Amino acid sequence: MYFSDFKMIDINGYPCFLTRTGYTGEDGFEISVPAENALDLTKAIMEKGEGKIRLTGLGARDSLRLEAGLCLYGNDLEQHITPIEAGLAWTISKRRRAEGGFLGADVIQKQIQDGPARRRVGLIASGAPPRGHCEILDLSEKVIGEVTSGGFSPCLKKNIAMGYVSSGNHKNGTKLKVSVRGRISDAVITKMPFVPSKYHKPAEGA
């Protein structure tokens, strides 16, 4: 199976959907199993893993997807944020961009032409880890945006975050500040993903 593959197979005798979407940013598999078989399948996987598999929770999922620069709906995306502001223009086909005719097309087409007023960026910060709703400041400490997700990166051993800043303050390498519980610390805009993905993809021409 390659990245984005999907199969319907039996696992441990249970009918399951198996996908390889790596939605955490890792090259991972996702198993959808009937609810009544979930506990038995989990136990079987743990036993067959011979100590090499561990249970984990949403904290690990969140740090992984943040390191991969992936948005979480309700944090980094919501109904008032457009794909252009979020840096997700690739989700809109060229035909759609040109023809419009979909909900929000008037706003999105204008943003494609003129540029959005705000943009999603990645940050590496010193001091305490920035969290959602922390203010992003310019060097004169004027508020120019807000953090939407943030925390400590286990891979980089640094505090990372993503958020939205006003256009003109979004270039990689731009030095900024963040306010975390009233304390101001230095930050710099950094290209995402923070940690490159290693999805299993077929070779060119395969």
Contacts of residue 118, defined as CB under 8 A and 6 or more positions apart, other chains included, come to 85, 145, 164, 165, 166, 167
Q: Flag whether pLDDT at 204 surpasses 80.
A: no
Beta strands in 126-190 (DSSP E): 135-137, 143-153, 158-166, 175-180, 183-190
Beta strands in 37-157 (DSSP E): 118-125, 135-137, 143-153
The pLDDT, as a whole number, for residue 18 is 96
Closest residue by Cα to residue 170 from 151, 193, 144, 194 = 144
The pLDDT, as a whole number, for residue 59 is 87
The pLDDT, as a whole number, for residue 163 is 98
Q: What is the pLDDT of residues 20-78, one digit of tens each?
A: 988 788 888 999 999 999 999 999 999 999 999 999 888 888 999 999 999 999 999 99
The pLDDT, as a whole number, for residue 161 is 98
Q: Which residue did the predictor score with more confidence, 206 or 100?
A: 100
Q: What is the distance between the alpha carbons of residues 11 and 31, in angstroms, rounded to a whole number?
A: 9
Q: What is the pLDDT of residues 125-171, one digit of tens each?
A: 998 999 999 999 999 999 999 999 999 999 999 999 999 999 999 99
The pLDDT, as a whole number, for residue 206 is 59
Q: What is the pLDDT of residues 18-34, one digit of tens each?
A: 999 887 888 889 999 99
The pLDDT, as a whole number, for residue 205 is 62
Radius of gyration of the chain (CA): 20
Supply the pTM of this predicted model.
0.88
Q: What is the pLDDT of residues 80-139, one digit of tens each?
A: 999 999 999 999 999 999 999 999 999 999 999 999 999 999 999 998 999 999 999 999
The pLDDT, as a whole number, for residue 78 is 95
